[in-house]
Amino acid sequence: MNASDVAEQVHASNWLDHAIRAGLVAYGLVHLLVAWLALQLAFGEKADSASNSGALQLLAEQPLGEVLVWLVAGGMFLLVLWRLLEFAFGYPEVSDKAKRWRKRATSLGKAVIYGAIGWSAVKTATGDASKGGTDSTTAKLMQLSGGQLIVGAVGLAIIAYGISLVVRGWTEKFREHLDAQGQLGQEGSAYVLLGKVGYIAKGIAIGIVGGLFCYAAITHKAKKSGGLDQALQTVLEQPFGPVLLTAIAVGIAAYGLFCFARAKHLSR
């Protein structure tokens, strides 16, 4: 039996289901912490950065925080393993080859997202959290030949991802992530509502991040770009900003709770 056969067996194993559940719980926890930080921002309280890294830093400051951050890192890397196996062996039931590879490419993209959070967790746990930030990364891209186009393309890709989350939430396509039992009765209705609100709110927040990248590309000002924390700050600065930011924070919390529901009623 070669390495490919072993990897394919792991992808189909019950063990991987348990690993995915652990990772989804960690992912949900990160979203709940981001939502808490966003609520603090909405109510005018000085808080850590309302982002994944800020959430991990907040977690690290709690009792047994370093252990919890390491557990989050482990959970994220388990999700990376799942998505990489999905990229290599997933979706055999999809007959359309182009559609199958689009799905596999999406899995690869999600592996990158989970990996970034996992790496941020490792750096937080080891006391080596990055001081650079999104704007410094954007500034480096701006210095490249065609840098503005690259940053603009990144922004458009982020916007497209945000829109896809909104569409997935609105059409309730996320139901495919829950088994049949997880969609039945009042409990199932609550899970679906959490998913709907969560996906739409998260999609809006990510879309704003993409908009900031596009604005930075147009104005050639790297500091105009930013991550989730700057996107939420931008929401706060709008008319009725605290109300809008509170709604988004509640939505992000709903997404976190949906991750817990998905872990309980996993369907893949």
Question: Based on the structure, what is the number of domains in the chain?
Answer: 2
Residues 247 and 144 in one domain: yes
Residues 103 and 151 in one domain: no
Residues 245 and 141 in one domain: yes
Residues 136 and 113 in one domain: no
Structural domain boundaries enclosing 7: 1-130
Residues 6 and 126 in one domain: yes
Query: Which of the listed residues 75, 110, 130 is the one where a domain comes to its end?
Result: 130
Residues 28 and 73 in one domain: yes
Query: Which of the listed residues 130, 158, 187 is the one where a domain comes to its end?
Result: 130
| Residues 48 and 65 sit within 8 Å (Cβ to Cβ) | no
Residues 106 and 17 in one domain: yes
CB atoms within 10 A of CB 223: 14
Question: Tens-of-pLDDT digits for all 268 residues of the chain?
Answer: 555 665 667 666 788 899 999 999 999 999 999 999 999 888 887 656 777 888 888 888 888 889 999 999 999 999 999 999 889 887 877 788 888 888 899 999 999 999 999 999 999 988 876 554 555 566 676 777 777 888 888 889 999 999 999 999 999 999 999 999 999 999 999 999 999 999 999 999 999 988 988 888 888 776 666 678 888 888 888 888 899 999 999 999 999 999 999 999 998 7
